Amino acid sequence: MAPHRTSGTTARVGTAVGFIYSESLEVTALGVTVAGGKRWDRFALEAEYAYLQLSQRGPSDVVVGDAQRLGVLGRFEIIRLGSDVVGPNSMLAVYVEGGAGVAWNDWYKPTAEQGSRLVPGDTKRVEGQAGFGIMLDHRLQEPIGFPRRIGWFLGWRVTMTKPSDEPMSVCRGVTCKTVQMEIDEDRYVDRSMLFQSSLSVTW
């Protein structure tokens, strides 16, 4: 078999689910991600956008806000198993990734039926990102030229950002009252952890 050609332009779309932790409110995040970039053999550089819906932790399905993430990521395949192990047209890789981006969190006020709850202030912050996972990559038989490869990514992503100093409010419907929250002096970062699954193409 001819060697795998893993360089080219890439596009990726998938889902993300996980948790966003902060000093004031911890929520479950569920959403979609899209990305595009360039691949040079084992290294890839991508720009990624994610839209997440934020819900109360636990059995509740109440949506309390939404989040957007825009960042740049570098990914490197530290272990690669090729055709002699996985199959003639397949390749399996273990990767690590890292990057930085901007995170927007928007929080909703409760409806009259939902009663009162704590509502953080909207934020826009820079965050650092790191992750790892596995990639299963398949090449398509010639003479197909687009795409040349189809891949599946499965991995964990951890983000870290400076704690927010935005005011908190207790809201019931449109009526809100600002409250003072105790700050944990030993906490230096807010963080999130997302489990991501996505499909990619290379051409």
Range 8-202 classified under CATH 2.40.160.20: yes
pTM score of the predicted model: 0.84
In which band, very low, low, confident or very high, does the pLDDT at 22 lie, cut at 50, 70 and 90?
low
Residue 39: the pLDDT is: 94
* pLDDT tens-place string over residues 29-84: 999 999 999 999 999 999 999 999 999 887 777 888 999 999 999 999 999 998 77
Q: What is the CA radius of gyration of the chain?
A: 20
Find how far residue 130's CA is from the centre of its chain.
Answer: 10
Q: Residue 82: count other Cβ atoms within 10 Å of its Cβ.
A: 16
**Residue 180 above 70 pLDDT?**
no
The candidate with the shortest Cα–Cα distance to 55, out of 16, 29, 87, is: 29
Number of H helices, E strands in the chain: 0, 11
Q: Mean pLDDT across the chain, nearest whole number?
A: 85
**Residue 143 above 60 pLDDT?**
no
Residue 199: the pLDDT is: 96
Query: Cα separations (Å) of 8 from 48, 142, 190?
Result: 17, 16, 36
